Amino acid sequence: MSADDRKAVRVRIQGKVQGVWYRGWTVERAGTLGLTGWVRNRSDGTVEALFAGPADAVDRMLEDCRRGPPSAIVRDVVSEPEQDPGMAGFEQRPTA
């Protein structure tokens, strides 16, 4: 895959997204899609993530984030382009 086929975005998910297994769901879903990056809770009650990988898989993850796991109530997903971190795997990080 060439660098042109890859995409990276940083997202902020707003709503009832903490305490509903959103981060665990994100790790599982991103792994299924073959994405790299990370996810963490933020002290303001949002969830933040960085997704990198094939452009179509990143776009699919963004769509999935709008629904989230069954207990989540997602109000908004805001994304912005990001530099590809070049990391391997997808991890859950501590709250920022």
With a cut of 60, say whether residue 7 has pLDDT above it: yes
pTM score > 0.75 for this model?
Answer: yes
Q: How far apart are CA 25 and CA 55, in angstroms?
A: 20
If pLDDT is split at 50, 70 and 90, which confidence band does 3 have? low
If pLDDT is split at 50, 70 and 90, which confidence band does 2 have? low
Q: How far apart are CA 7 and CA 81, in angstroms?
A: 8
Q: Calculate mean pLDDT across residues 19-47.
A: 98
Residues assigned a catalytic role = 23, 41
What domains are there in the chain, each with its CATH number?
Answer: 3-83 (3.30.70.100)
